[in-house]
């Protein structure tokens, strides 16, 4: 089976009803990113940050994977697929994708405020446990924090992601503005023989690559359908 690697961003989940970050009306227009997605913001106002992620978690219970997520899961019949996602939702998993690497953490997981990447403290919440309260503690006695990679923090999964991209026969970038590093740099690890597709209804500024890119200017659902048809030839 050919190795197909997906790099997905917020646009992947847009058709499920989850806002993107940088489109008009996106999340970063509604909330100051420094306040809700940085370690400093969390130190300054943990209540606000906890409420922000509670709201994201509550919303996640109300949405479903879209056709694009589902088609990617179905494509596992024909391809060896690894999904590398910047998304913190669990819609790839809920659609049935079996190998998902989250670069920016996972909304349905919580961890220690002191050692967020220590596996001993990372815990998956059940859907009904979406509301975290100030005073809820991790196993090390610190306040439970979202298992989210904030701006300014290291991205522990980037190395394993690079390895998958290097080995890919096909790389499919879906619904990301490629503004945030190191995720945006993953394309540069694609080997010269790797076929690259980019699915996005809007123009994406792909910086400094000589790699030919097959553009599919469609939303995720239609775009993944077109991708599969194109690959079938
Ligand atoms: N289908 C596919 N793509 C879409 C759709 C759709 N229906 N609707 C919008 N898009 C595209 C937009 O054109 C844009 O290129 O999705 C992209 C969303 O870009 P961003 O909002 O910047 O999201 P993303 O690239 O995932 O952001 C990266 O920034 O703040 C952070 O940590 C957060 O993981 C996130 C990271």
* CATH for 216: 3.40.50.1220
Domain that residue 9 falls in: 1-16+66-104+154-233
Say yes or no: 231 and 160 in one domain: yes
Could you tell me the pTM of the whole model?
A: 0.97
Distances (CA, A) of 203 to 56, 117, 140, 176: 27, 35, 46, 10
Catalytic: 104?
A: yes
Ligand 1, atom 15, residue with closest C-alpha: 177
Residue 58 sits in the same domain as residue 89: no
Q: Which of 15, 22, 161, 221 to mutate to test the pocket of ligand 1 (most atoms within 8 A of CB)?
A: 22
90 and 48 in a common domain? no
pLDDT tens for the chain, residues 1 to 233: 999 999 999 999 999 999 999 988 898 988 899 999 999 999 999 999 999 999 999 999 999 999 999 999 999 999 999 999 999 999 999 999 999 999 999 999 999 999 999 999 999 999 999 999 999 999 999 999 999 999 999 999 999 999 999 999 999 999 999 999 999 999 999 999 999 999 999 999 987 777 899 999 999 999 999 999 999 98
56 and 44 within one domain: yes
Whether the CB-CB separation of 54 and 36 falls below 8 Å is answered with: no
**Angle between helical axes of 67-74 and 220-232 (0-180°, round to 10):** 30
Query: Does the Cβ of 74 fall within 6 Å of ligand 1?
Result: no
Count: domains in the chain: 2
Give yes or no: residues 222 and 169 share one domain.
yes
Which residue's C-alpha comes closest to atom 28 of ligand 1?
180
- Beta partners for residue 196, in sequence order: 171, 213
């Amino acid at each position: 089976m050919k190795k197909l690697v997906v790099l997905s961003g917020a646009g992947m989940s847009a058709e499920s009803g989850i806002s993107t970050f940088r489109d008009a009306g996106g999340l970063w227009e509604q909330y100051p990113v420094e306040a809700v997605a940085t370690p400093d913001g969390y130190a300054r106002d943990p209540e606000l940050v906890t409420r922000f992620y509670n709201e994201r978690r509550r919303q996640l219970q109300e949405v479903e994977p879209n056709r694009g997520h589902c088609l990617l899961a179905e494509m596992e019949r024909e391809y060896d697929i690894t999904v590398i996602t910047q998304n913190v939702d669990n819609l790839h998993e809920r659609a049935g994708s079996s190998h998902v690497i989250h670069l920016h953490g996972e909304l349905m997981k919580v961890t220690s405020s002191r050692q967020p990447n220590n596996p001993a403290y990372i815990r998956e919440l059940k859907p009904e446990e979406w509301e975290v309260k100030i005073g809820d503690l991790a196993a090390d006695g610190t306040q439970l924090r979202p298992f989210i990679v904030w701006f300014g923090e290291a991205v522990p999964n980037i190395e394993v992601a690079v390895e998958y991209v290097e080995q890919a026969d096909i790389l499919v970038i879906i619904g990301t503005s490629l503004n945030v590093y190191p995720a945006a740099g993953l394309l540069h690890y694609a080997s010269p023989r790797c076929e690259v597709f980019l699915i996005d209804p809007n123009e994406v500024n792909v910086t400094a690559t000589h790699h030919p890119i097959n553009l599919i200017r469609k939303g995720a659902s239609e775009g993944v359908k077109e991708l599969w048809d194109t690959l079938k030839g």
